[in-house]
Amino acid sequence: MVCNGGDNRRRRAVVAEAAIEERQLLKSLRWYDGFVIALCNPGFLIGSLGYSVGALGGWGAMCLWGISATIGLLSNWVYSETAAMFPEQSGGISLYAHEGWRRYFSLIGPIATFGYWIGWSVVLSIFGKLIGDLVVSKWFPGSAGDVYFSIGSNHLGLPHMIAIGLIVAVWVFNVLGVKPSLWLGYVTGALLMVPLVVFMLVPFLSGDYHSSNMTWNIGGQWGGLRIAFVWLFLMCWSAYGIEVCASFAPEYHDTKRDTALALRSAASFSLLVYVILPLGVTGTVGADFINKQGAEGQFFTGALDKLVGSGFGGVVLVFLLLSLVLSMNSSTADGGRALYGIARAGMTVKELGVLNRFHVPARAMTVDLLVNVALVLFVSSNLAILYMSNIGYVLAHVFAMTGFLLLRKDRPAWPRPIKVSSVWIPIAVVIAASNLVFLVVGAGSPKLNGYGTWTDFGIGVGILVGSVLLYIFRRVVQDKQPVHLREETPKLPSEPVAPAAAGVPVT
């Protein structure tokens, strides 16, 4: 009886394991779902606008935001090809970097993925704190200076508690499956349209826009180019985020059609917003008002009161706050899929390559949760967090764009359901080179942006070093295989996958 019971338990365990291994990302999305997910990008602009206007002036900020969004749009056209090349793989642009570079240097994969992941992950802490600041500024001004406790030089109060609560809330929505997360996106995305209309149209219709509020403060070394490059580096974090649509390629009903439409429609809409919104907001209140009220976002309260009155301004502010929750929601979804994709590709610990019973990477999302709660508790400046994370994020874009070029060269026969014309090859070269310049100048000038430090630089680089150590741990300890710095790559999908790129069993 004991033996039979043991056999039965073993059989049940095998059946349960087999059932879990069959879990896959569900094909439940259409292109417009991807567009809604990418509506997080206007929220990214809202979170960064005050800093840029304070440093560059209204005209300077609008010009650089427009340039950055244009680069993001062009990049998305290129990424539509690589996204369709690997329709069953999750991971977004870090996957393209891995596939393009692993023939030459296999460590590019984990470096690009962790750089990409941290760029998306920190949205939770940045926007959680921004929402907390706005809530306190509007409804609890008497609590603005209250300190509940301190950790080092970081003094924690009500805004920090609100941030942690929101981080946990969006995590819950995401781990329960893609549909709850998507419906949250639809609701908050629809509400986002209200503050966008207020900031982009009302100033010009009401007469509140005044060109005298717009200034140009780009100057200094290299005729202003150095400060421009520093801010273009920081703006990548916001303006390039439309590539989030590519991370969901395996989950679209029609990978070819839906991926391309999602990427291109989101990029076009974002370009419009990134040019007009800075013009409307800054032309209404001016850079001095923004600096006085608080560049982290507190100035939006006063701007709304001026445009629509304090009563309706409070309602629009609620919609604005919910749109920032949309950005946090998209961040959790995308960051978790990036970690899941790299674990499935054998480049980090296999425990992250697991889907829960709702077919989402809950473990990877939980890593996001823990990292961002730690950032809220230990890091005081939002822009310091942005600077630290942006080092890896921009590097991931450099590797992804050059990965596109290498895939064109090394895998000419690989099926490309979407193939951009040859004119995009020199465009990709220019984009990759530009991003590399932004990275070198921006990451190497932490004092010039006024918020970053060399300590933040060290943390950003340390995350990339940690990704390599986790890759080595995965290969040597978990897979019991040697580390290969170069891997053979298949010419066609039907060819065997190189051993070093073997997948991870879902357990």
Are 300 and 318 contacting, i.e. CB atoms less than 8 angstroms apart?
Answer: no
pLDDT score of 326: 82
pLDDT score of 374: 92
Top mean pLDDT of 20-34, 156-170, 308-322 is at 156-170
- Cβ count within 10 A of residue 134: 24
pLDDT score of 26: 67
**DSSP β-bridge partners for residue 156:** 149
Mean pLDDT to the nearest integer, 351-369: 91
Distance CA 266, CA 461 (A): 30
Q: For residue 101, what are the contacts with CB-CB under 8 A and spacing of at least 6?
A: 108, 109, 112, 399, 402, 403, 406
pLDDT score of 504: 39
Q: Give the mean pLDDT of the chain.
A: 85
pLDDT score of 165: 96
Torsional sign, CA 382, 383, 388, 389: positive
Q: pLDDT tier at 224 (50, 70, 90 boundaries)?
A: confident
For the chain, give the percent of residues with pLDDT over 70.
91
Neighbouring C-alpha atoms within 13 Å toward the C-beta of 237: 37
pTM of the model: 0.87
pLDDT score of 403: 97
pLDDT score of 10: 47
Mean pLDDT to the nearest integer, 71-83: 91
Q: Where are the domains of the chain?
A: 38-500
Query: Has residue 431 got a pLDDT over 80?
Result: yes
Higher pLDDT, 299 or 506: 299
Q: pLDDT tier at 464 (50, 70, 90 boundaries)?
A: very high
Eight-class DSSP state of 155:
E
3-17, 317-331, 348-362, 466-480: least confidently modelled range: 3-17
pLDDT score of 25: 59
Mean pLDDT to the nearest integer, 116-136: 90
Alpha helices in 379-453 (DSSP H): 382-410, 424-443
DSSP string spanning 450-492?
A: SS--HHHHHHHHHHHHHHHHHHHHIIIIIS--PPPSS----SS
Higher pLDDT, 459 or 477: 477
Distance CA 65, CA 51 (A): 12
Mean pLDDT to the nearest integer, 62-69: 96
Query: Has residue 475 got a pLDDT over 80?
Result: yes
Distance CA 461, CA 450 (A): 19
Are 34 and 248 contacting, i.e. CB atoms less than 8 angstroms apart?
Answer: yes
pLDDT score of 324: 87
State both tokens at 129.
């704190």
Query: Has residue 501 got a pLDDT over 50?
Result: no
pLDDT digits (tens, 9 = 90+) for 290-335: 888 877 777 888 888 889 887 888 888 898 888 888 888 888 888 8
Query: Has residue 15 got a pLDDT over 70?
Result: no
Query: Has residue 502 got a pLDDT over 50?
Result: no
First-to-last alpha carbon distance for the chain, in angstroms, is 29
pLDDT score of 453: 77
Alpha helices in 294-309 (DSSP H): 299-308
Please state which CATH class domain 38-500 belongs to: mainly alpha
Query: Has residue 7 got a pLDDT over 70?
Result: no
Q: pLDDT tier at 497 (50, 70, 90 boundaries)?
A: low
Q: pLDDT tier at 16 (50, 70, 90 boundaries)?
A: very low
Mean pLDDT to the nearest integer, 361-387: 88
pLDDT score of 24: 58
Top mean pLDDT of 150-164, 258-272, 399-413 is at 399-413
Query: Has residue 17 got a pLDDT over 80?
Result: no
pLDDT score of 500: 45
Query: Has residue 147 got a pLDDT over 60?
Result: yes
For the chain, give the percent of residues with pLDDT over 90.
41
148-152, 283-287, 391-395, 438-442: least confidently modelled range: 148-152
Eight-class DSSP state of 156:
E
- Cβ count within 10 A of residue 244: 27
Higher pLDDT, 259 or 411: 411
CA separation, residue 186 to residues 4, 74, 192, 330, 360 (Å): 52, 26, 10, 11, 19
Q: For residue 174, what are the contacts with CB-CB under 8 A and spacing of at least 6?
A: 180, 181, 329, 332, 333, 336, 360, 362, 365
pLDDT digits (tens, 9 = 90+) for 390-418: 999 999 999 999 999 999 999 999 999 88
Q: For residue 475, what are the contacts with CB-CB under 8 A and spacing of at least 6?
A: 346, 481, 482, 483, 484, 500
**DSSP β-bridge partners for residue 149:** 156
Give residue for tokens 């009886």: 1
